[in-house]
Amino acid sequence: MALDKKTLDALEGVTTATLTTVLLKKGLRNVWLRGTKPLRPGQPRIVGPAFTLRFVPWREDLATPGSWVSPTSTRAAIECMPVGCVAVVDAMGVTDAGIFGDILCERIRVREVAGLVTDGVIRDLAGVLRTNLPVWCEGTAAPSSVTGLTFVGWQMPIACGGVAVFPDDIIVADDDGAVVIPAALRDEVVEAAVEQEKLEAWIIEEVRSGLPLPGLYPPNAETKARYAAFCAAQTNAAE
């Protein structure tokens, strides 16, 4: 399910660090996908509903070059990806078999997918970089996926980087990695995260002015009152 513009715009202004804190306050600790590192520095933050893909361990009768034309293939899965989704691939952390190369990544980009997130690796690094598809992964490897993995399907619950990801959960990825927001918590997490970013921006200015951290971060009652007064003044000025 595509994200509405208001939610998309809000999350594009929220860091994954802030999101992990907001989710921690809601009791969710295991939300940061391990092994999902930006392929290149300075990639734009991406936001979108998860489109999940799953690999299982390699098996000789299934993981063959012939499987690439099977109805259950990565090629078939890519053709089902909707505009604006984030492809999230469970590669079990395998680092000696590249799940996608430049041709598949180019097709993903052409389909206007927001980005690719995996706990595995990609291949054809130079070509993938030329596609300009935002990619988060564990690194690169020359061998193809079938040398170490068997693709089994898409749009099912997966484990990526040790985190449970369901189709249509919200993925946010930036320089700190990728975070999953459970779909059912989307609205309340977005609201809390936007407010947390505003609060922390104000706190940074207080730190720059010379204030010490105790009582400021995290804010005590006095600090919260000063922040509320600041917000009220900002609202009045805008009116």
Q: Which two tokens stand for residue 121?
A: 């690796």
Structural domains in the chain, sorted by start: 5-184 (3.50.30.40), 189-238 (no CATH)
pLDDT in tens, 11-48: 999 999 999 999 999 999 999 999 999 999 999 999 99
DSSP 8-state symbol, 85 = -
DSSP result, 27-52: T----EETT-EESSTTPPPEEEEEEE
pLDDT in tens, 176-218: 999 999 999 999 999 999 999 999 999 999 999 999 999 999 9
Q: What is the pTM of this model?
A: 0.94
Q: Which two tokens stand for residue 86?
A: 């984030």
pLDDT in tens, 145-186: 999 999 999 999 999 999 999 999 999 999 999 999 999 999
